[in-house]
Chain A
């Protein structure tokens, strides 16, 4: 049957298997903004339903982890945090690290975990990872309050932390981390939709990655020749900058060059993740 293409008509939706490299319909995502909001509410609200302390658990989590880390890494393994009180040091970098690892972890499972919903209804697929990145930020901000409390104590009572004006860049650092975890997560979920092998590595990889990032140690305790290698990790400059700006020069370093590198790396990563995600989102449901 020949299709007469007197097609001057305007079609709203065109369903076919063809995709261009980056056809992301921002307008469509905007139209689904209410869904985005609902996903975020669902994430935050359902997490601690039927608990007595409720959202307080968001705040307790990093405290408990920081206490354990203080025992293990500081007291037993004797890894130095320079002059910064270990509990403050860990609390700060863990708040940030948890955001990255949880956001990356959950986005890297977007397709597999949501196959149920995605197999039944259409909405712009990007809404899901986007909602995870944002609900993660909200959770992180709650935890940040705890960190901030402990920070105030150490600034005014023990005088062992010295925040500076660079702290105002925190929102920017957060955005870079959000983009980085989204990019990496989108890439992994796209790559693991058909062959799952990689997802086994991810769990293990995140744990390992923490030790390659200055989370439980300041970069300055590594020897200068090793530091160069660690700077290559795009998260290093971000974490160092974060610690420098809130805790002081003992805890981290501000390095414009490597921050620029991180930013560039993140943008490329985000773009690659987006392209890959875009490539598989239409058909992944057939092979999931």
Chain B
């Protein structure tokens, strides 16, 4: 019986060694070798912990991916989502053969091309033309194939004029476009793509997504890893949601994304740390962050586009008389930066302090937002950055008589702006 499965992952796990590799590790290597010589199991395969980056490591080993099984059908576009550290990138590296799994195996049918970054192998001294060939062959194309696609690639990237100039003279935009141009014209049976789309402007991203769905509709298989849920949604019919190195959910994209949002995103409107685990350093530590809303539905805080709410922080200043200010950057989960606001610099005594940002109603759009907080000294030197402090969702409300029920575009929806017809 011949099935349509082109990728079959069987119990794959990947263990990484963390911390420094050096003098201390050689004793582990010797023990491991000694165990293998006696025909025993590798003693360090039993240890290792879940990959939780917020905790301090308690073992020298961690499982980035643990016991994963999945099949991919021919022509399927599979999205892989999950938070940072969930094992997405490791899974990609395993699939693209950059590294081998610690246990288990992956079987693949057909030619694979993987794009873990754009422009792999680009050499600054080589011209655009030479780099197209360099990069293309690295990605597994033959020179004949590249020659056939050459004009298309140049067209796609729009660098005709500079094609015989060394790429070190390119603007970063041209460089990326050329690199992606090569990648977009690969014709493998299986394409593995990491978040390369994070580069480039919106128009270019659109072009890339378009190109990728083109590829998918031609019966080729795509595995796409991204933070950009919208991109995953528009490209992939099915998805895998990874959490702590395992598959938390898989199935139709819609269902998996909803599950992901409800399990990973919404509950994040309050964060608290003990002093010894709090993000920061001896000069300053963030102790808690919380979103305070007046409205509640079913005992849950709910923010809609009209709700004003507060974001409260509590932090510990470790140096008496230190000039401190907080700088907050708000992002949508698709990675668009909405704004950056800062407090004035305050000379603070040693001890606990609080801070509050008021967000008025009628400012944010319906979307999911995350907060990155910079703890800054004297308004200029960053003491610490806390990523993804909080994540919250702003819900839509029934709109007036606009007649439009789709998603309202934009990172903000400032309905307080006056816009009238006389």
Contact = CB atoms under 8 A, between A and B. Distances in A.
A37 B143 contact: yes
B2 interface: yes
B142 interface: yes
Given A1-B69, A46-B125, A10 B101 contact: no
Interface stretch (A172-180, A242-250, A280-288): A280-288
Given A15-B95, A17-B103, 19 more contacts: A3-B10, A3-B11, A13-B97, A13-B107, A16-B101, A34-B143, A38-B143, A41-B130, A45-B125, A117-B121, A119-B93, A120-B116, A121-B121, A121-B139, A194-B25, A195-B21, A195-B22, A283-B99, A287-B17
A43 B229 CA distance: 41
B92 to A, nearest CB: 10
B241 interface: no
A17 B125 CA distance: 37
Contacts of B2: 9
A49 interface: yes
Contacts of B109: 9-13
Interface in B248-269: none
Interface residues of B, number: 53
Nearest to B141: A34
B130 A285 contact: no
The residue among B10, B105, B111 with the most chain A CB atoms within 10 A of its own CB is: B105
A176 B336 CA distance: 59
Interface of B: 1-3, 8, 10-11, 16-17, 21-22, 25-26, 29, 69, 93-112, 114, 116-117, 120-121, 123, 125-126, 130, 133-134, 137-143, 166
Contacts of B8: 11
A122 interface: yes
Contacts of B99: 282-283, 285-286
A38 B108 CA distance: 27
A49 B125 CA distance: 7
B114 A122 contact: yes
Contacts of B126: 42, 45-46
Contact of A12 (B105, B110, B139, B166): B110
Nearest to B8: A11
Contacts of A117: 120-121, 138
